[in-house]
Structure 1
Amino acid sequence: MYLVKIYVTYKPSILDPKGESIKAALHRMDYSQVENVTMGKYFELQLAADTKDVDAVVKALCDQLLVNVNMETYRYEIEEVEMA
């Protein structure tokens, strides 16, 4: 079985309103050393052990459903795990 961890964030050219709100709140709480906050999405998927070309499957899932490729970017980690 494969465990896939997918991290999605806005592209650098896209304003992150939630991140900006969090940063403003932190500054109001006297955490002025915080220079930037990025808010994103996180997914964990389990794929069957017999999945062919896991990398291609994950890219297709991200591009077709999980990520808005116009506004967001993503990275992922694939880990082969044994079933318990």
Structure 2
Amino acid sequence: MFKATIFVTLRESVLDPQGVAVKGSLHSLGYNGVKDVRIGKKMEVLLDCSEKAEAEAQIREICEKVLANPVIENFTFELEEVA
């Protein structure tokens, strides 16, 4: 069994209004050193697979088809074997 930790973020070229709002809030609190904030999503998925290559292929397909919008988002993932 494998646990996938998936990170989905907006592409660099896409405006991140939530990030802009958080950056403004941080500046108003005195954290003027903050130059940029990008908001993303983290997901964890457990897969019942015996082979790491099979788990990687399934997670990549899940991300491409369901979890990330390939037009405006990027994704990365980490796989960890669990008992």
TM-score over 0.5 for the pair: yes
Question: 1:50 Cα deviation (Å)?
Answer: 3.2
The letter for the 2-side match of 1:80 is E
Question: 1:31 Cα deviation (Å)?
Answer: 0.6
Question: 1:54 Cα deviation (Å)?
Answer: 1.2
For residues 49 and 61 of structure 1, the distance between their equivalents in structure 2, rounded to whole angstroms, comes to 14
The number of equivalent residue pairs is 82
The corresponding residue for 1:63 is: 64
The letter for the 2-side match of 1:4 is A
Cα root mean square deviation, aligned: 1.2
Are 1:46 and 2:59 matched, yes or no?
no
Deviation track 1:21-53 (CA, whole Å, cap 9, x = no partner) reads: 000010011110011111001110000033661
For residues 33 and 58 of structure 2, the distance between their equivalents in structure 1, rounded to whole angstroms, comes to 40
Output aligned runs, 1:1-84, within 5 Å: 1-50=1-50, 53-82=54-83
Gaps of 5+ in 1: none
Gaps of 5+ in 2: none
For residues 47 and 27 of structure 2, the distance between their equivalents in structure 1, rounded to whole angstroms, comes to 42
The 4+ residue runs of structure 1 with deviation greater than 4 A are none
Name the TM-score, length of structure 2 as normaliser: 0.93
Q: Is the 8 A contact 2:49 2:55 kept in 1?
A: no
